[in-house]
């Protein structure tokens, strides 16, 4: 289901040849339109007609208005149930494209060609689609699998460094929650660049894929993938609502630091383990300034996290390096202490 593409995209061409699609709709943003679409079109061999659907780049576009426009375009172009949507882009494109495809005429087929490290290792895998609502991330969406995921690592060379670093946060997370050896190989990387990261992508994808296969509907072990995301999502949402969006991985790196400390406060890991996790994350990520946000504004958003039930905030917390628990309910006091801990790091 996940295929690393040859330079001639032969596996994609075989896929298009074997299936009987009626037409192709390629969803891009202005960046992937410029940098990735020419590579795709230059290698794609098919007799099918295709259309390009372009949206503006950015998380701010992942909303119901954009979804509505895309549904209307598909309708106007008379896309039928055998049409194929190709999502060519980062997490916004794969989340949004998966959502509109899985709901247009109650579901047409789609494939993901993730172009960022984040979407390769995380967003494009796992059958979650979604859009944001009122600054809450992925509040509306479906569980729907792409027919295939095609990875072309050279697309990473088209990206700014910050995007690479953002995706690297999810790779670190995969090591931390499930595979100590993966974590330890990753932290051997001193200069973060495409060359250093590419050899580790497959392992990181496999961890994600493995967890998802064990628990597609996120009833148990899949929740461990939310490590760093409870507080991380809150801060990401607050930044987005202020018109200053940050990259997902930047928020997750910050969230993992808070939640590693929280795991220590909840007696799940030792102080030394927490410190080692935190120091290594800090090696790659600059301090994220959260001084504009009160504790109340952060914890208010935690209350509406999708993972919660019965008005309790559920955390996924490390129980060691390479293992993670879920549905762990923390005291309000410890949640606030973990934020206080993060705020103090600014002066350290």
Least distance CB 285 / its own copies (angstroms): 29
Degrees, nearest 5: CA angle 329-333-338 = 85
333 an active-site residue?
Answer: no
Least distance CB 211 / its own copies (angstroms): 17
Instruction: Indicate which residue of 248, 266, 280, 314 is catalytic.
Output: 248
Q: How many CB atoms lie within 10 A of CB 270?
A: 12
Beta strands at 23-29 and 83-89: parallel, antiparallel or unpaired: parallel
Instruction: Indicate which residue of 165, 229, 261, 307 is catalytic.
Output: 229
222 an active-site residue?
Answer: yes
Chain contacts with its own copies (rule: CB under 8 A):
22, 64, 68, 71-72, 75-76, 78, 80-82, 102-107, 128, 130, 133-134, 136, 138-143, 303-304, 306-311
**DSSP letters for 286-319:** PPP--TTS-HHHHHHHHTT-TT-BTTB-EEEEEE
229 an active-site residue?
Answer: yes
184 an active-site residue?
Answer: no
Instruction: Indicate which residue of 165, 174, 182, 222 is catalytic.
Output: 222
Ordered alpha helix ranges (H), 50-90: 64-76
Closer residue to its own copies (CB): 291 or 309: 309
Tokens standing for residue 233? 């999502």
Closer residue to its own copies (CB): 135 or 343: 135
Least distance CB 103 / its own copies (angstroms): 5
Q: How far is 65 from 73, CA to CA, in rounded Å?
A: 12
Degrees, nearest 5: CA angle 156-60-297 = 110
Best CA proximity match to 105, nearest among 80, 84, 129: 80
170 an active-site residue?
Answer: yes
Instruction: Indicate which residue of 31, 112, 226, 280 is catalytic.
Output: 226
Is residue 53 within 8 A of residue 27, CB to CB? The reply is: yes
Closer residue to its own copies (CB): 103 or 323: 103
Beta strands at 314-320 and 323-329: parallel, antiparallel or unpaired: antiparallel
Tokens standing for residue 32? 């992937």
223 an active-site residue?
Answer: no
Closer residue to its own copies (CB): 136 or 284: 136
Q: How far is 39 from 17, CA to CA, in rounded Å?
A: 19
343 an active-site residue?
Answer: no
Is residue 234 within 8 A of residue 301, CB to CB? The reply is: yes
**DSSP letters for 17-58:** HHS--SEEEEEEEHHHHHHTHHHHHHH---SS-EEEEEE-SS
Least distance CB 134 / its own copies (angstroms): 6
Instruction: Indicate which residue of 163, 165, 174, 218 is catalytic.
Output: 218
- 69, with CB counted inside 10 A (0-12, 13-18, 19+), is middle
Instruction: Indicate which residue of 33, 59, 137, 170 is catalytic.
Output: 170
Least distance CB 86 / its own copies (angstroms): 19
218 an active-site residue?
Answer: yes
Least distance CB 64 / its own copies (angstroms): 5
Closer residue to its own copies (CB): 130 or 167: 130
3-state secondary structure of 341: helix
Is residue 203 within 8 A of residue 155, CB to CB? The reply is: no
Least distance CB 250 / its own copies (angstroms): 24
Write out the catalytic residue numbers. Answer: 106, 128, 170, 208, 218, 222, 226, 229, 233, 248
């Amino acid at each position: 289901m996940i295929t690393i593409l040859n330079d001639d995209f032969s596996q994609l061409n075989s896929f298009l040849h074997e299936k009987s699609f009626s037409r192709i709709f390629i969803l891009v943003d202005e960046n992937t339109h410029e940098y990735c679409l020419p590579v795709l079109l230059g290698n794609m061999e098919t007799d099918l007609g295709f259309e390009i659907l372009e949206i503006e780049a950015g998380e701010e576009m992942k909303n119901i208005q954009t979804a509505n426009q895309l549904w209307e375009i598909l309708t106007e172009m008379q896309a039928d149930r055998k049409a194929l949507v190709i999502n060519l882009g980062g997490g916004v494109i794969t989340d949004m494209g998966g959502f509109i495809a899985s709901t247009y005429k109650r579901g047409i087929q789609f494939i993901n060609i993730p172009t960022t490290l984040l979407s390769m290792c995380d967003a494009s895998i796992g059958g979650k689609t979604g859009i944001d609502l009122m600054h809450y991330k992925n509040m509306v969406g479906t569980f729907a699998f792409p027919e295939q995921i095609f990875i072309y690592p050279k697309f990473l060379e088209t990206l700014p460094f910050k995007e690479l670093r953002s995706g690297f946060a999810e790779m670190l997370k995969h090591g931390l929650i499930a595979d100590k050896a993966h974590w330890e190989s990753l932290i051997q990387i001193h200069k973060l660049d495409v060359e250093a990261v590419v050899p580790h992508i497959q392992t990181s994808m496999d961890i994600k894929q493995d967890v998802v296969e064990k628990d597609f509907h996120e009833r148990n072990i899949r929740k461990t993938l939310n490590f760093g995301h409870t507080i991380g999502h809150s801060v990401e949402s607050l930044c987005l609502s202020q018109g200053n969006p940050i990259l997902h991985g930047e928020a997750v790196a910050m969230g993992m630091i808070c939640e590693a400390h929280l795991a220590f406060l909840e007696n799940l890991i030792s102080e030394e383990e927490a410190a080692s996790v935190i120091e290594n994350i800090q090696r790659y990520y600059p301090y994220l300034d959260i001084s504009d946000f009160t504790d109340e504004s952060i914890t208010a958003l935690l209350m509406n996290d999708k993972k919660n039930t019965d008005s309790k905030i559920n955390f996924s917390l490390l129980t060691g390096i390479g293992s993670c628990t879920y549905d762990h309910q923390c005291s309000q006091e410890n949640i606030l202490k973990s934020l206080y801990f993060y705020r103090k790091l600014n002066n350290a």
